[in-house]
Amino acid sequence: MKPKIELLSREELELIHTQTLHLLQTKGVKYDSKIALNYLEDAGQEVDYDSLTAKISPDLVEKCLESAPKLGEVTLYGRDDRHEIIFDGGRTYYNNEYGGRDVLDFEDYETHKYRDPTIDDVKRSVTLADALDIVHIIWPGCFPTDCPPVLLDLYNQQICFTNSSKHLQDQARDLRLVPYKLEILDAVLGDRRKMKEKPAVSLIFDTVSPLRWEKDMIEATIEMTKNWVPSFVHSRPQPGVTSPVTPAGTLLQGNAEVLSGIVLLQLVQPGIPVAHSVTGTCVDMRSGIAVGGQPLERLLQSAGVELAHFYNLPAWAWNTSYLVQPEYASGLGNYNTDLTLFLERYIIDAERFAMVDRIHEGFKVNEESLMRLDIERVAYDGTFLKEMSTRNHWTEEYFVTTLGEEGLYDLEGGMTEGSCSSKEMLQAAHERVEHILATHQVNPPLSSDVIKEMETIIKRAQKELVG
């Protein structure tokens, strides 16, 4: 038995798809970039350079969906080949959270404080993520404030490569940084062209809802795509704010956004691996701020995964879900709606996500696992604790917690501040963080020559871009 819940029927998926094609053809999408529009015009699409919009024909959408590698054909790597990530629909891979605008320093339950993130915090987050087996894709955990803001992505790239050998993912937000980013790839991989066979980095390509792509991100992502850097095309609208309030309407708009991104990237580099991701963030309709945990959000995340699978593409979802199984899920370490880097949360979520994996494994139903003879033997007054079958197999069936007593877990977790469960669990997580940071060594380490080369590249970028 493998848990399988179908939210959308084939007919409903077909309807969303048909309406998406209609929306792309009649309304089109705004690409804030003439470079992007050139690609669409060259592909015979109706482009308006004044309004920066393009109407995309169903034929082109189908053609680009055809050229994107499908489930089972997409494999990502780390800078070390051991870290293979095979998107074949069989399992979920996780990353560590990104986006901390501040850091929560935890000393003990009573003593903790918020402060600005530093380069050292990025290093700590990456080291921790590198050490956690459940993390396969590395994100720099926060935005350091002790480096020039324009160079932030370069610093993060350098720190990630230095402190982890796993697959690295970030965003291309600034065209000026692309040459340096590619030089860093040359330094680390030996040659950026290796990306085509074994992509060691990938990008998040974020839309701006409704139906818009932002200039800097488009143009930087196009350049990276030319160099075979795969993209996870992502729409994260807010129902009722940046998309229709209904989940169906949000899925339709999100799908149109994602497909318009996939079309562009396939035009730039036919065959570039992409992932499809329609998620969604709910807002507090009193204050307007983003909030996690809404049932609507969970439904959207899950339906978004089904939409990706409808196209036979790898799915990326925000936060993990027991409803459906994406190939890739974020949210590990998510705290304060991903605004705060809280390392202890990494540890807690590593267990929480492993529990979700356990649910997805399901269980066997056969003559042996039904254990009818055991029941007959033990009933009416015995206990199964005396049975060797229990002794031999209980750890396959139970999830063995390592962070305190069973029952302390809140599997749903909370993404908002103050939602971490218990004092004991936090303390245990804190001790684990301290231990890992004190002992973990990245394997294999980067050579000192490569580290030096990256430093030289960043120094040059600083001189050329900051002065």
Residues near other proteins, by CB under 8 A:
32, 99, 101-102, 114-116, 143, 149-150, 152, 173-174, 208, 212, 214, 216, 238, 240-242, 283-290, 339
CB of 241 to other proteins, least distance (A): 6
Residue 219: CB partners within 8 Å, gap ≥ 6?
33, 35, 36, 175
Min. distance of Cβ 285 from other proteins in angstroms? 4
CB nearer to other proteins: pick between 29 and 442: 29
Min CB(139)–other proteins separation in Å = 14
Could you give the 3-state DSSP secondary structure of residue 387?
A: coil
Q: What is the DSSP string of 179-239?
A: HHHHHHHHHHHS-GGGGGTS--EEEEEE-BTTTEE-HHHHHHHHHHHHTT--EEEEE---B
Q: DSSP 3-state assignment of 80?
A: coil
Q: Which is nearer to other proteins, 78 or 99 (CB)?
A: 99
Q: Are 432 and 347 in contact (CB under 8 A)?
A: yes
Quote the least distance from Cβ 288 to other proteins, whole Å: 4
Q: How far is CA 6 from CA 10, 199, 254, 256, 433, in A?
A: 10, 32, 19, 22, 38
The CB-of-214 to other proteins minimum distance in angstroms stands at 5
Q: Are 368 and 374 a contacting pair, CB within 8 Å? A: no
Q: In which residue are the tokens 């197999």 written?
A: 393
Long-range contact set of residues 444-449: C-beta below 8 Å, sequence gap at least 24? 444/80, 444/165, 446/79, 446/161, 446/162, 446/188
Nearest residue (CB) to other proteins, 159 versus 195 = 159
Minimum CB separation of residue 242 from other proteins in Å reads 6
CA geometry: angle 50, 56, 57, nearest 5 deg? 140
| φ, ψ for residue 74, nearest 5 deg | -110, 120
Nearer to other proteins by C-beta: 99 or 199?
99
The CA–CA distances, whole Å, from 2 to 6, 92, 427 equal 13, 14, 35
* Count of other CB atoms within 10 angstroms of residue 83: 18
Residue 239 φ/ψ, nearest 5 degrees: -55, 130
- Residue closer to other proteins by CB (options 257, 306) is 257
Q: Minimum CB separation from other proteins for residue 208, in Å?
A: 6
- Report helix, strand and coil shares of the chain as percent, to nearest 5: 45, 15, 40
- Give yes or no for a contact between 333 and 140, defined as CB atoms under 8 angstroms apart: no
Rounded distance between C-alpha atoms, residue 285 and residue 280, angstroms: 15
Amino acid at 212: R
CB nearer other proteins, residue 153 or residue 327: 153
Give me the residue label for tokens 């034929």.
Answer: 59
Toward other proteins, which CB reaches closer, 289 or 379? 289
**Beta carbon of residue 287, minimum distance to other proteins (angstroms, whole number):** 3
Tokens of 102: 């501040």
SS3 427: helix
| Residues 9, 317, 88, 443, Cα dihedral to 10° | -170
Residue closer to other proteins, measured from CB, 287 or 439: 287
User: Quick one: 114 or 394, whose CB is closer to other proteins?
Assistant: 114
Q: Tell me the CA end-to-end span of the chain in Å, nearest whole number.
A: 61
In the complex with other proteins, which residue's Cβ is closer, 284 or 368? 284
Shortest distance, position 136 Cβ to other proteins, whole Å: 25
Closer to other proteins at the Cβ: 101 or 358? 101
In whole angstroms, the minimum distance from the beta carbon of 339 to other proteins comes to 7
Nearer to other proteins, 7 or 241 (CB): 241
Other C-beta atoms closer than 10 Å to the C-beta of 448 total 8
SS3 call for 81: coil
HSE at residue 256, side-chain half, CA atoms within 13 A, is: 31
Q: How far is the CB of 370 from other proteins (least distance, A)?
A: 52
